[in-house]
Amino acid sequence: MKSLIAGLLLAGAFGSSVAADILPRAAKPEEVGISTERLARLTRVTQDHVDAGRLPGAVILIARRGRIAYYEAFGFRDRDKNLPMARDSIFRIYSMTKPITTTAAMMLQEEGRLQVYDPVSRTLPELAQLKVGHERVEGSGRKVFETVPMLREITLQDLMRHTSGFTYGTRGTSPVNALYLDAKIGSRDDTNADLVTKLSKIPLKYQPGTRWEYGVSTDVLGRVVEVISGKRLGEVFEERIFKPLGMTDTAFFIPADKLSRAAQPWQRPGGPPPTPRFDVAVQAKYESGGGGLVGTASDYLRFATMLLNGGKLGNTQLLGKKTVEFMTADHLGAIPIDAPGLGFGLGFQVRRDAGIAGLAGSVGEYGWAGNAGTLFWIDPKEQLIALYMIQVSDPDRIALRNQFRTLVIQSLVE
């Protein structure tokens, strides 16, 4: 109990109120249909994780019905240096970058500069004649790797919903995965143009449109945005999304005057070696549209609120209402995905069934997560936005995120 009280005092002492200008804070969670008593379970469990060393620190933000119900910081932003977490701490958000890149692309569609069914080769001609890797088994049982032509070209929709055939080198042991590792796909020493050049020389893992395969699709989409806009991806984000939405702490690196707010990963006692994380102080050449951003919970709340509001935040209409509906619908249909009850839209995982998935939720909710453990989801039915900002190693992040989802959902009582 002492550690729990200390954690709450810590959160209050060092947490800022930077989200207050986005949404007002409810005097009591009950005003937005959330139980204070049940939220205490989330507080207790999170603090227990900090005390036990499973989690260095966290920032949690829950908004419902247009008001903030919960906004707290726990533990340490840098446990090695004993520096406390604050609500304005800046996190590596990794794949939570993907919805932002997809939003930039859909803004270009609204301006008539692309269509989601366009072939990628219309913008990136070097990807027009890709081959597809194929392993066949000979009569002797020996596996033979060969390449075959694409049955159809990759579309922008394939990039947005991860059905392009691109992959990540670390997601499997196939010959194609090995080629990704050999080519150092995703190196921070490359530009987005360099990435596409490398990919043009490597076969796809699957035929476009035949299955969901998580990978560098959104990074390629980022290059599409660069070519069509004539600007670097970071410039597009700053001018078209971050500045209009007031996302002042989201970027591809943390400038020197903000480094004192950077949340750092930490190796828990007896745990596996920490996953290597990119240096947030370095402005890398690779502005990864699939996973390169850093940001705060408050900034991402602005982005999420814009989506929940049908593309609008305050007086800024970033996307049309029907565009947001289109993005957050399931775009897979019968295309296989190894996620029962779930599908994928344009930049987001979406929920297709109330059950099946193994975690409670609403049909139509959407969101995504980041490699270092961050998570967000938006539930239009419940008018709910939940944000979980942490920096942990790979073996721990999924269990922590799933537990967080459960603890948030159980707190809803009306």
pTM exceeding the 0.75 threshold for the entire prediction? yes
Residue 369 lies in a domain: no
- The C-alpha atoms of residue 109 and residue 49 are separated, in whole angstroms, by 44
The residues, any chain, with a CB within 8 Å of residue 142's CB and separated by 6 or more, are: none
Tell me, yes or no, whether 60 lies in a domain.
Answer: no
d(CA 168, CA 393): 18
The pLDDT tens digits for 275-301 are: 789 999 999 899 999 999 999 999 999
**pLDDT value of residue 15:** 38
Domain annotation covers residue 159: yes
Residue 283 lies in a domain: no
Compute CA distances 162 → 126, 167, 269, 337, whole Å.
Answer: 19, 9, 36, 10
The encoded tokens of residue 240 equal: 């078209």
Angstrom distances, CA of residue 89 to CA of 10, 66, 249, 254, 264: 14, 23, 9, 11, 10
Helices (H) and strands (E) in the chain, counts: 12, 14
Q: What does the angle CA 374 – CA 253 – CA 220 come to, to the nearest 5 degrees?
A: 75
Q: CB–CB of 359/114 below 8 Å? A: no
What pLDDT does 273 receive? Answer: 73
Residue range of the domain that includes 187: 112-229
Number of domains forming the structure of the chain: 1
Question: How far, in Å, CA of 411 to CA of 388, rounded?
Answer: 15
In a domain, 199, yes or no: yes
**Residue 21: pLDDT band with limits 50, 70, 90:** confident
Tell me how crowded residue 144 is: count the other CB atoms within 10 A of its CB.
9
Instruction: Answer yes or no: is 367 within a domain.
Output: no
Query: Over the stretch 182-232, which tens digit does the pLDDT of each residue have?
Result: 999 999 999 999 999 999 999 999 999 999 999 999 999 999 999 999 999
CATH code of the domain in which 141 resides: 1.20.58
Is residue 362 situated within a structural domain?
no
Kindly state the tokens that stand for 318.
């970033």
Q: 97 in a domain, yes or no? A: no
